[in-house]
């Protein structure tokens, strides 16, 4: 068994979401998915969030991932479009367990919505819609 530290599904989630043509269409173009809060907007920010659980004996991890659909301050798309972005992202993540993996890669066994989405304004005044995905995996 590899180390529990290797059971990190976030790189796989970012790769999948960044390569999704369906999500890119909702966002208004490619290059709008990542871990940072940087232009262009609207953007999907994907970050780890506290919580989840680990099984030290089996190497299994239940990792919580926060998804934030961030709006533009110059040309806002509105809450409805941010919600669409978020739920397309959750639907795309749900395909992760069915994807093939190579030896040495994290094995993702389940993806579920851990908390429903909702609007939460950013401190700078831009619109934001957030949700949390629970990703079960092992190294």
Return phi, psi of residue 2, to 5°.
-75, 175
CA-CA distance, 136 to 139, in Å (whole number)?
11
Cis before residue 42, ω within 30 degrees of 0?
Answer: yes
Convert the pLDDT of each residue in 36-91 to its tens digit.
999 999 999 999 999 999 998 888 999 999 999 999 999 999 999 999 999 999 99
- Element containing residue 117 per DSSP (H, E): strand 107-119
Q: Topology of 4-138 in CATH?
A: Alpha-Beta Plaits (3.30.70)
CB 54 within 8 A of CB 4: yes
Residue 111 CA, distance from chain mean position: 11
To the question of pTM greater than 0.95 for the whole model, the response is: no
The shares of helix, strand and coil residues in the chain, as percent rounded to the nearest 5, are 25, 35, 40
For the segment 102-119, what is each residue's pLDDT rounded down to a tens digit?
A: 888 899 999 999 987 799
């Amino acid at each position: 068994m590899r180390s529990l530290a290797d059971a990190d599904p976030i790189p796989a989630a970012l790769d999948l979401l960044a390569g999704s043509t369906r999500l890119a269409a909702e966002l208004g173009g490619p290059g709008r998915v990542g871990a940072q809060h940087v232009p262009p907007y609207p953007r999907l920010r994907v970050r780890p969030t506290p919580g989840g659980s680990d099984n030290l004996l089996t190497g299994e991890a239940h990792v919580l991932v926060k998804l934030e659909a961030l709006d533009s301050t110059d040309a806002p798309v509105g809450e409805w479009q941010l919600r669409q972005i978020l739920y397309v992202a959750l639907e795309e993540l749900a395909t992760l367990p069915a994807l093939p993996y190579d030896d040495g890669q994290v094995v993702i066994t389940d993806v579920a919505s851990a908390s429903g989405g909702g609007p939460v304004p950013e401190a700078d005044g831009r619109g934001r819609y957030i949700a949390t995905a629970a990703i079960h995996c092992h190294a």
